[in-house]
Structure 1
Amino acid sequence: MRDDHTHIQEFFGARARDWDARFPDDGPAYAAAVARLGLRPGDAVLDAGCGTGRALPALRGAVGDAGVVIGADLTSAMLAAAVRAGRHRDGRLLLADVTRLPVLSQSLDAVFAAGLIAHLPRPEDGVRELARVVKPGGLLALFHPIGRAALAARQGRRLTDDDLRGEGRLRPLLAAAGWQLSSYADEPSRFLALAVRQP
């Protein structure tokens, strides 16, 4: 049996070259979600599961030249697509598993994660690792440019009550890892859950 990482790398590796072309209109949604993080010049932020780096320009714009922007992804083909798009100029790209980040504990002000949580083999381990690298009071944004129902329809599946991104499942998952859910929006045009790192 193949491990979960191999499956993820194969899935995204096969789609990396045309990923941005498949979703050409997502830029404003990414920028709006990044704005909700309230980043300040000089902050340090991670784009966890950054893919082709679509959030990196907005993250760089928010933290400025003095800030630190890191994009981490498990799939080298996605990072290569980020480089081809020139997004490596907006942040340092790391080939890394977000459940074992090569990042110091409590060194970041925020984490942005677009579409990540559904692809984590063990979501509890992933959100715990994201909590490890964020300072107390720092923020986590779990984002998708369309809501859960719209995404389920796009994928040809039914939205069920046990969906991990449903508020009833997400809130206790985050709490167990040291996050407190502070806002939750699941609308046709976006999914955005914000959580605060607890002391």
Structure 2
Amino acid sequence: MSDDHTHVQDFFGARAANWDARFPDDGPAYASAVAELGLREGDAVLDAGCGTGRALPALRSAVGPGGTVLGADLTPEMLAAAAAAGRDNSGQLLLADVARLPLRDRSLDAVFAAGLIAHLPQPGANLRELARVVRPGGRLALFHPIGRAALAARQGRQITDDDLRAEPNLRPLLAGSGWLMTTYVDEDNRFLALAVRQD
């Protein structure tokens, strides 16, 4: 395992038990972002870097009982917290690295990824891996329950021009990884970039 992976596991593993309690009001923001993903009954969707699985109930509601909901995360403690919260009832939890997903090519209709992009060690290659498992015309949502400026303020830092989530950086990054960005929203109360898988 790389140092990047170990760092991510250590960071989130230490915070897993109290993660939901730190952000108790994010539920409606997750549900709203999932609604914008445009899922249909019976779709197959992955929550990439699912953490404690806060998006899984909304994803299950969107695809219905006949759909497939997967939640993949690198951190066992996060998946344990998701199961303890009962969110494994909404989707199958996978201990997996989004850089090497145990899924067939073009097997999904969509990927939802909350707070993931800042933790990707190789963003271009990692976004290509997400594209690999999504059918052409399928969708990707990159989401965060607060915008870039609000997040930077929370963390006591300034936004810089090299921020991957800045639109001038994110649009070409997605394009080079098999995605066409269709929506970009960066407001105090949410960040949401939607993209469509190209052929």
Separation (CA, whole Å) in 2 of partners of 1:3 and 1:185: 32
**When the two structures are aligned, how many residues end up with a matched partner?**
198
Match of 2:198 in 1: 198
* Counterpart secondary structure, 1:54: coil
Aligned runs of 1:61-72 on 2, under 5 Å?
Answer: 61-72=61-72
Match of 2:138 in 1: 138
Match of 2:156 in 1: 156
Match of 1:54 in 2: 54
One-letter code aligned to 1:60: R
Separation (CA, whole Å) in 1 of partners of 2:123 and 2:154: 23
Aligned runs of 1:1-199 on 2, under 5 Å?
Answer: 3-199=3-199
Instruction: After superposition, give the CA deviation of every residue in 1:123-181 in whole Å (9 maximum; x if it has no partner).
Output: 11110000000000000000000000000000111001111000000001000011000
One-letter code aligned to 1:34: V
Instruction: After superposition, give the CA deviation of every residue in 1:80-123 in whole Å (9 maximum; x if it has no partner).
Output: 00000000000000000001000110000000000000001111
One-letter code aligned to 1:176: G
* Counterpart secondary structure, 1:17: helix
Separation (CA, whole Å) in 1 of partners of 2:189 and 2:32: 12
Instruction: After superposition, give the CA deviation of every residue in 1:39-98 in whole Å (9 maximum; x if it has no partner).
Output: 000000000000000000000000000000000000000000000000000000000000
5+ long unaligned stretches in structure 2: none
The 4+ residue runs of structure 1 with deviation greater than 6 A are none
TM-score if structure 2 supplies the norm length? Answer: 0.99
Separation (CA, whole Å) in 1 of partners of 2:103 and 2:166: 29
Separation (CA, whole Å) in 1 of partners of 2:111 and 2:9: 22
Separation (CA, whole Å) in 2 of partners of 1:6 and 1:81: 19
Separation (CA, whole Å) in 2 of partners of 1:183 and 1:8: 28
Q: Percent identity?
A: 76
